[in-house]
Amino acid sequence: MLLQLLSFFDDAATDSAKKGNEWIVWVVGGVLILGMILLMVLPQRKQKKRQEEMMSKLGIGSIVTTIGGIVGEVVELDDKYVWLATGVGEGKTTMQFVRQAIHAIEPAPGSPEAQAAENAEKAKEDEIDEIK
């Protein structure tokens, strides 16, 4: 008998709570869905922006690494393809890749970007030498 009485009060309390606070469930659900969408979209945008910046640096003479791990020097470019020269001396081979296959770009030797990277690397080495 006592359990039935407690059950009655529990049902009455939850019914009134459901009617008054139902909008909270919708707000929390909406916030969670919006948060999940933002957590998926924002990293993709950042990655796309980095990819576009990297491709803007691509030029003839740049040393690139493909997604397959092939390293070569860019010898020709167009809107869709990149031609890389790989190998040493007389054994050089030219290969054609789509632009999306480029994973990393190092600036052409002697370019201002390459000199800036070399200077930064030398500065780091000097710091390490000073610490020792």
Q: Provide the domain count of the chain.
A: 2
Burial group, residue 84, by CB count within 10 angstroms (0-12, 13-18, 19+): buried
User: How many angstroms separate the CA atoms of 12 and 20, rounded?
Assistant: 13
Query: Mean per-residue pLDDT for 57-72?
Result: 90
Sign of the CA dihedral with 119 first, then 125, 131, and 132 last = negative
**Domain co-membership, 47 together with 70:** no
Q: Model-level pTM greater than 0.85? A: no
pLDDT of residue 62: 86
The pLDDT assigned to 66 comes to 93
81 and 110 both lie in a single domain: yes
Are 16 and 40 part of one and the same domain?
yes
Can you tell me the distance from the alpha carbon of 83 to that of 75, in angstroms, rounded to the nearest whole number? Answer: 6
**Identity of the residue numbered 35:** G
Q: Which of 33, 56, 79 is the last residue in one of the domains?
A: 56
- Provide the H-helix boundaries in the chain: 2-56, 112-131
Rounded Cα–Cα distance for residues 47 and 37 (Å): 16
pLDDT in tens, 73-116: 999 999 899 999 998 888 889 999 999 899 988 866 677 777 78
**Pairing state between β 93-98 and 81-86:** antiparallel
pLDDT at site 18: 57
- What range defines the domain where residue 120 resides? 63-131
Spatial separation of the C-alpha atoms in residues 89 and 87, rounded to whole Å: 7
> What's the pLDDT at 64?
92
| Residue pLDDT, tens place only, 47-63 | 999 888 888 888 888 89
